[in-house]
Structures are given as structure tokens and as C-alpha cells.
Structure 1
Amino acid sequence: MKRTVVLLSGGIDSTTTLAIAIAEGYEAYALSFDYGQRHQIETQAARRVADSLGAKEHCVAKIDLRIFGGSALTDDLDVPKQRSQSEIAHGIPLTYVPARNTIFLAYALAWSEVIPANDIFLGVNAIDYSGYP
């Protein structure tokens, strides 16, 4: 059977991605992260999604991206609400966590070498663009 690592935040994009991987016949290994974000609701949602969709295994990797700061998700900065289109167009939002997805993909690659899996699934959405690089 084909195996894959699916990055799973518990949100709609990664949930859909996990469902697609399973529908395409992959044995899906879901990978989530506790990276020092303020709210643990993400990892709780990811656990429920992995269980209900039938992931072969669900791993929550604990890493601490707070050591770098620079993000309202991992630092003592206020999360901006109701940003205007002009604010979105000018600069990177405070909710951007530097290199987060690249770090997540590195972990997914490491796990895929162990399983072994030839594929990694990542659900991202360009339509919701909010100024992230």
C-alpha cells in the first residue's frame, strides 16, 4: 500500500487534504505540531480529524518556535483583528510564524524516511492570502 505523511493542523485545508489522501488509497500518517502556539485547539481538532478520517497513525511533534518570537501566535503580541485590504497588501502580518511550514515539511520528510513513505501531503490555500510570504 502507498504511504504518505499528511501535515494536519485540524483546519479545513489540512482536513480536506487528509481526506483526499485516504480517498486516493494512501495509508495516511498524520503529523501535527505543538509549536508553542497560544491555543491548543488546533492540536485537539487535529486529533479528532485523524481519528474520524482513519489516519493510520497520528503524531503530534512538540517543538518550540517561541524561541524566535516575532509572531503574535508564539509571542506576547496582540493578534490583529479585522485588517483592511490595504493593511493586508502592505507587509507581513504579525500572525506569520517565521519558516513554520518549511520546518513542518522537514519533520514530515524525516518521518516519511522512517515509515517509509514516498509522498507528503500539505494543504495550503492561496485564495485566503493574508500577506504571508
Structure 2
Amino acid sequence: MMKKAVVLLSGGLDSSTAMYLAKSEGYEVHAMSFNYGQRHKKEIEFAKKIAEKAGVKEHIIVKTNMNAWGGSALTDSNIDVPKGDLENEEIPVTYVPARNMIFLSYAASYAEAIGAQDIFIGVSQVDYSGYVDCRKEFIDAMENSINLGTVCAVKDNRKIKIHAPFMYMTKSEEIQLGMKLGVDYSLTWTCYNGYEKACGECDSCKLRLNAFKEAGYKDPVEYFN
């Protein structure tokens, strides 16, 4: 019987690579995506495509409403997505308050329900936009909390492990790994905007474009410029 893993799948480069890595390690993949009230649903469309291409066991889309309180350019229509500045050291307005904390909580509930002991998340504290919920100390703390608050861990001694395999990898190293794993990056969406093509100007696009260049590959996604 294959071991099960819950993979948090946004439809972007990082989560898609994490999904393929979990598959390569012999896990039966149960992907979880979120319609959390973000301003556009392009990433959900791409999450469906990449999950189907990868042949996951199950793909669940959770609907919640983090736009009810907002606080981010990704959920608030009155906050513009800024042009990317990779030299900026401030927390950008695209940070969604406690998003990974919420997502990992859902993933833990899903994992316990289906008997999975592994959760994969594609965060990194090397190539990121300064989001505090992408750091190893946060991931470790969440894992500890999950194992203090689930019956499978407390009563049955089946602890849940959070895998963050790219924590100390650059995005270019991640892309090189993904290419070996057969990730179809044309089926991923990274842009913070929901246009017909990727904008090429937001933080996320700039990090992605720079990573593909460093990795020695051409990004298969179409850009406006």
C-alpha cells in the first residue's frame, strides 16, 4: 500500500515541483488547492491542469474567504499589485496575512482524515519575497502544533511531517530539479496578476524569470514583455 501525502498546490512553480517530487518519492499524492478570495482564479485553473498532468490520486479545492478581512494586494481590489523590486527588504503588500498557517491547518485536517502522515509545501527562505511564513522556524513550529493537536499524533503515535524540500534551495536549483522530474512548467502560473499573459513585472514574475535564466532554460509561460 502506497504511503499518502497531502501536497499544497497553488498552481505555481514551487508547489508544482513539490508535487512531482512527492510523486517521485513514492507517495500517493492528494493535492489541495485554495479558492481563498484571491483577486483572480488563474492559479486555480493551472493547479487543475498540472494536477491532472501529474496524475494525482485526488485534487481538492477548498473554498474560504480571506478577502473578507483582506490586508493584501492579492485579495483587495483597492490595493494595486506593485512592480517587482528584488532589492526591497520590506514585507510587500502581496503578503497575505497568515496564509500558510491557514493552508497548513487545512492540510493537517485533510491528512488526518485520509491517514496521511506527510504534507508537502513548496516554500523557501532563499528566493522569496520576505514572507515570514516561508521560514524554517515557522514550518517547524507548525509541525509541532499539528502534532499536539491531532488525534493521530497524540493518541495513535502517527505523527505528521511537514516537508519543505526547497527551504534552502534557490529557485534556479529548484527548476533544474523539476526538469529532471518532468514538470511541465507551461502548466504553472506564477504571476500575481490575472491577465491573459503573465505581466513580467511583479515580484513573482521577476523571481521566476531570473530563476529560469540562471537555470539555463527558457520559461515556457507567455509574458506581455
- Structure 1 length as normaliser, TM-score? 0.93
Matching of residue 95 in structure 1 with residue 105 in structure 2: no
SS at match of 1:36: coil
Mapped to 1, the partners of 2:40 and 2:110 lie a distance apart of 25
Give the C-alpha shift of residue 82 in structure 1.
2.8
Moved over 3 A (4+): none
Give the C-alpha shift of residue 67 in structure 1.
1.6
Mapped to 1, the partners of 2:23 and 2:41 lie a distance apart of 25
Mapped to 2, the partners of 1:100 and 1:30 lie a distance apart of 17
Mapped to 2, the partners of 1:110 and 1:7 lie a distance apart of 13
Residue-by-residue CA offset, 1:14-48 (whole Å, 9 max, x unaligned): 11100011111100000000001111010001001
5+ residue gaps, structure 2:
133-225
Mapped to 2, the partners of 1:13 and 1:29 lie a distance apart of 16
Residue 57 of structure 2 corresponds to 56
Mapped to 1, the partners of 2:100 and 2:126 lie a distance apart of 17
SS at match of 1:117: coil
Mapped to 2, the partners of 1:84 and 1:31 lie a distance apart of 29
Question: Superposed, which structure 2 residues align to 1:1-133 within 5 Å?
Answer: 1-75=2-76, 76-83=78-85, 85=87, 88-89=88-89, 91-133=90-132
Deviates more, 1:97-106 or 1:75-84: 75-84
Aligned length, in residue pairs: 130
More strand by share: 1
Mapped to 1, the partners of 2:130 and 2:4 lie a distance apart of 33
Give the C-alpha shift of residue 132 in structure 1.
1.6
Mapped to 1, the partners of 2:27 and 2:123 lie a distance apart of 19
5+ residue gaps, structure 1:
none
Alignment CA distance shift 1:17-1:84 (3 Å):
closer
SS at match of 1:72: coil
Residue 191 of structure 2 corresponds to none
Bigger-Rg structure (1/2): 2
More helix by share: 2
Residue-by-residue CA offset, 1:92-117 (whole Å, 9 max, x unaligned): 11000000001000000000011110
Q: What is the RMSD computed on CA atoms of the aligned residues?
A: 1.0
SS at match of 2:107: helix
- Structure 2 length as normaliser, TM-score? 0.56
Mapped to 2, the partners of 1:59 and 1:70 lie a distance apart of 26
Alignment CA distance shift 1:105-1:118 (3 Å):
same
